[in-house]
Amino acid sequence: FSLRKKKPCSDSLMKQSRTEAIFPTAMIPNKGRGEFTRNPRKDSEGLSESPDLEFEYSDTDKWAAELSELYSYTEGPEFALNRKCFEEEFRAHVSDRKWTELDAAQHRAHAMRLLDGLEVIAREKRLKVARAILYMAQGTFAECSSEAEVQHWMRYNIFLLLDVGTFSALVELLNMEIDNSAACSSAVRKPAISLADSTDLRVLLNIMYLMVETIQQDEPADKPEWKIIKETFRAELGSPLFNNEPISVMLFGMVTKFCSGHAPHFPMKKVLLLLWKSILFTLGGFEQLQNIKVQKREELGLPPLPEDSIRVIRSMRAASPPASASDLIEQQQKRARREHKALIKQDNLDAFNEKDPYKADDSREDEDDNDDNDNSIEAETFPIERDEVMPPPIPHPPSERVSFPKGLPWAPKVREKDIENFLESSRSKFIGYTLGSDTDTVVGLPRPIHESIKTLKLHKYVSIAEIQVAKEEEFQKTPLSGGEEEVEMCATELLYQGILPSLPQYMCLLDPQIALLKILLAAAPTSKAKTDSINILADVLPEEMPTTVLQSMKLGVDVNRHKEIIVKAISAILLLLLKHFKLNHIYQFEYMAQHLVFANCIPLILKFFNQNIMSYITAKNSISVLDFPYCVVHELPELTAESLEAGDNNQFCWRNLFSCINLLRILNKLTKWKHSRTMMLVVFKSAPILKRALKVKQAMMQLYVLKLLKVQTKYLGRQWRKSNMKTMSAIYQKVRHRLNDDWAYGNDLDARPWDFQAEECALRANIERFNSRRYDKSHSNPDFLPVDNCLQSVLGQRVDLPEDFQMNYDLWLEREVFSKPISWEELLQ
């Protein structure tokens, strides 16, 4: 992108070790793992390098971590209470033998007895039985000696509970608690809500979450009957079997009721976690999304995907963060003291650029160059003068060689619209007229244009969304001859149909997405307490507030952890829904996305990132000795203020990094190919906020930050591009190329008008037509409804008349029939 100044060949550089000479940007090989890590010393620009974060993005964290996040530390004493309730029930019907010593028939008999106990009228008795079932779902931990044993019995007991029909009974009880007006009105009147106000709800949600989370785990050693139970449960969970709606719709209703202020005692963290895991289990995670995408492209006759995006992202490596202001000042002072200043020789520049980025070359030097360019964006000089400052590389045996990605990580893409625009401009320039959308006629165009068109068509990519939009336009144009649309009633379609009536356009307060955003705003670290904000701490605050410093510190950690888990759940829910709706039908995705945009989701996410993001990602808001199942198996050590301050030894917090990546992906989904929303990023001054997020050395997070910077680069001005060339280089290396995209220069769209309202209104009109055509059968166009022309069938239809009409029928006949003259001749004509 620019000519760099050549670094002088100093004596100190010649005295470097052989290893550092081969890897000139402070990269040293980690022989044990076959990877490269940064030298902890400062690199050539004086930047203090932090190590790459060893984070692997997936649908969820490890099973133990997901189990522990269900419980707040304030709920710790309830583990013993659950055990006590179970043992009382167990000893009343079974001898003094342990649960782990009984056979399968005895296990099943006791589970059936507990299920019958849920049917009793007395609330206290019902709660005791529910706690006994919760203890079973927690793995009957008192009889286990290790965490692995607890998890084994959890899995066994949960499949047993599901087989006897416990989940359906729990859903009915949950519906009763949701509709419990006495509890709701009591909670509304209370000045302060605590953990005790949501006891019944928490017990039910705990059991349901443990069942969903445990059953969705893939275990190769599962029995065949367990696999059948799992698939049946998945189908039932996504079908409208519970209260004539999927379980996710019922949980969305709880979120809405909580945000409207009618049920402030709802344990929102548990509701959101169960909602997330239900959506993940019924619709599928990111691997399943990729498989569905491949299958749909095959069904539509589209060419296969150029690469597996999940695999490409996992193979990418993090880049160095951009320099801060103090680092830049230090670099300028160093450059001022240099004596020898010269531009890079043109022949060296040519030698550096002559490699084809898509050519798979096997030479060792090319591999070093590729690695250097991918991982040392902040290095001042490119390693192009190896002969002057470096000894030749040491040959390595084949077994120790590291495989490097060749060229750029992504294959370039071109849209049909891009080819049409290119041809239109070429025809206007060379032959003075255009042919509209004709992309085949190249008569009169010079040979280089022919080659360009050939290259563009070679990389043309047709998305599933384009096919869906074209089909919808055809349905709208030909409602009669187009035929009936075959809608596959998959779990995603059932969920969309379930939440569609609950998203009235005129009542923003009852919009589930907006409700989720209100909770996200309340849980964001940058949000300030306001009188009108919702209280999301109802299921973490104890009845009696802490009295000692240690208790206050513990509660502070618990509250921060509670908020982090809520952000994690909401970000995962929104991302999963956006991705699944987009695959199912593009206008379902656009419907949800537009609700989020109108609810100020874009500035909310930017506000979230407008903090010290490194501090958020490395936050240590957890007490590992209090996490389930560790706390129920081991003797708890005495907690001290020092141990609470120290936290754990992890390099980063998995859930916080997961949340950040999800929010960046949501922001990308909302702004992609939307000019007006991209301009919102510019107006809200997102560039410096996003650039600060590049300090996190994790490849996937950096990729989505760079994508967001790329779409707005052309609008940020030449001075910004000039002073951020290293960020521009990172975008070039990491983000997919669109062959006709002038993103780096901004020559074509600088003066393009920004009409947010017109773009969004046109999109809203398309969405409404889609929803009306496919789902609103009652308000169909009367011109397209079939007409019954048979007199006998019309007169034979039964019409229910109101009671007052029947009583006054004689009066109606006199007034409307007998007293009015009828011209029969005119009527017959």
Domain boundaries, the chain: 71-238, 416-460
Task: pLDDT band for 730, please (50, 70, 90 cuts).
Answer: very high
DSSP calls for 665-697: HHHHHHHTT-HHHHHHHHHTTHHHHHHHHTTS-
Instruction: Answer yes or no: is pLDDT of 510 > 50.
Output: no
Cα distances (angstroms) measured from residue 788 to each of 470, 791, 797: 33, 8, 11
Lowest-pLDDT choice from 285-294, 577-586, 637-646, 776-785: 776-785
Task: pLDDT band for 280, please (50, 70, 90 cuts).
Answer: very high
**Tens-digit pLDDT profile for residues 461-507:** 999 999 999 999 999 888 777 677 888 889 999 999 988 877 543 23
Task: pLDDT band for 829, please (50, 70, 90 cuts).
Answer: low
What average pLDDT score do residues 442-457 get? 89
Half-sphere exposure of residue 3, counting CA atoms within 13 Å on the CB side? Answer: 10
Q: What percent of the chain has pLDDT over 90?
A: 42
Closest CA to 620 of 640, 645, 639, 657: 645
Amino acid at 299: E
Report pLDDT for 332.
64
Report pLDDT for 8.
41
* DSSP 8-state class, residue 402: P
Task: pLDDT band for 251, please (50, 70, 90 cuts).
Answer: very high
Residue 460 in 3-state DSSP?
strand
What φ, ψ does residue 29 adopt, rounded to 5°? -75, 135
Contact 86, 136 (CB under 8 A): yes
Q: What is the mean pLDDT of the chain?
A: 80
Task: pLDDT band for 50, please (50, 70, 90 cuts).
Answer: low
| Residue 37 parent element (H or E) | strand 35-38
What average pLDDT score do residues 737-756 get? 71
Report pLDDT for 589.
95
Report pLDDT for 691.
94
| Residue 424 parent element (H or E) | helix 416-430
Instruction: Answer yes or no: is pLDDT of 46 > 60.
Output: no
Left, alpha or beta for 544 (phi > 0: left; psi -120 to 50: alpha)? beta
Report pLDDT for 781.
61
More confident site: 512 or 664: 664
Report pLDDT for 558.
93
Contact 653, 618 (CB under 8 A): yes
Residue linked to tokens 């009936």: 484
**Tens-digit pLDDT profile for residues 358-407:** 333 333 333 333 333 333 333 333 333 333 333 444 444 443 333 444 57
Q: State both tokens at 753.
A: 């008008």
Instruction: Answer yes or no: is pLDDT of 715 > 80.
Output: yes
Residue linked to tokens 């907690």: 639
Contact 54, 317 (CB under 8 A): no
**Tens-digit pLDDT profile for residues 66-99:** 999 999 999 999 999 999 999 988 888 776 788 8
**Tens-digit pLDDT profile for residues 590-600:** 999 999 999 89
Closest CA to 558 of 639, 651, 662, 652: 639
Report pLDDT for 110.
92
**Tens-digit pLDDT profile for residues 634-681:** 888 888 887 777 667 788 999 999 999 999 999 999 999 998 899 999
Contact 43, 320 (CB under 8 A): yes
* Alpha-carbon gap, residue 328 to 183, rounded angstroms: 60
Amino acid at 538: A
Within 10 angstroms of residue 133's Cβ, the number of other Cβ atoms is: 27
Lowest-pLDDT choice from 321-330, 484-493, 607-616: 321-330
Report pLDDT for 172.
92
* Alpha-carbon gap, residue 687 to 693, rounded angstroms: 10
| Residue 30 parent element (H or E) | strand 27-30
Contact 261, 267 (CB under 8 A): no
* Alpha-carbon gap, residue 133 to 147, rounded angstroms: 19
Instruction: Answer yes or no: is pLDDT of 39 > 50.
Output: no
Residue linked to tokens 């917090």: 653
Report pLDDT for 331.
62
What φ, ψ does residue 160 adopt, rounded to 5°? -65, -45
* Alpha-carbon gap, residue 584 to 276, rounded angstroms: 19
Task: pLDDT band for 538, please (50, 70, 90 cuts).
Answer: confident
More confident site: 809 or 684: 684
More confident site: 435 or 281: 281
Closest CA to 161 of 96, 103, 226: 226
* Alpha-carbon gap, residue 475 to 667, rounded angstroms: 31
Helix, strand, coil share of the chain (percent; to 5): 60, 0, 40
Contact 589, 99 (CB under 8 A): no
Q: What's the Rg (C-alpha) of the chain?
A: 32
Lowest-pLDDT choice from 281-285, 401-405, 550-554, 711-715: 401-405
Lowest-pLDDT choice from 41-45, 257-261, 288-292, 594-598: 41-45
Instruction: Answer yes or no: is pLDDT of 532 > 60.
Output: no
Report pLDDT for 235.
92
* Alpha-carbon gap, residue 232 to 625, rounded angstroms: 37
What average pLDDT score do residues 515-519 get? 85
Contact 44, 381 (CB under 8 A): yes
**Looking at the DSSP assignment, which residues form a beta bridge with residue 460?**
414
CA 78 from centre of chain = 32
Task: pLDDT band for 717, please (50, 70, 90 cuts).
Answer: confident
Report pLDDT for 794.
74
Task: pLDDT band for 336, please (50, 70, 90 cuts).
Answer: low
Helix spans in 338-446 (H): 346-353, 364-375, 386-389, 416-430
Report pLDDT for 290.
92
Contact 343, 5 (CB under 8 A): yes
What average pLDDT score do residues 281-306 get? 93
* Alpha-carbon gap, residue 829 to 825, rounded angstroms: 6
Residue linked to tokens 């930017």: 606
Report pLDDT for 406.
58
Contact 665, 585 (CB under 8 A): no
pTM for this predicted structure: 0.80
* Alpha-carbon gap, residue 73 to 53, rounded angstroms: 28
Report pLDDT for 471.
92
Q: What percent of the chain has pLDDT over 70?
A: 79
What average pLDDT score do residues 293-316 get? 89
* Alpha-carbon gap, residue 247 to 274, rounded angstroms: 10
Report pLDDT for 333.
63
* Alpha-carbon gap, residue 30 to 38, rounded angstroms: 10
More confident site: 776 or 581: 581
Residue 631 in 3-state DSSP?
helix
What average pLDDT score do residues 549-554 get? 90
Report pLDDT for 80.
93
In the chain the first and final C-alpha atoms are separated, in Å, by 83
Report pLDDT for 753.
61
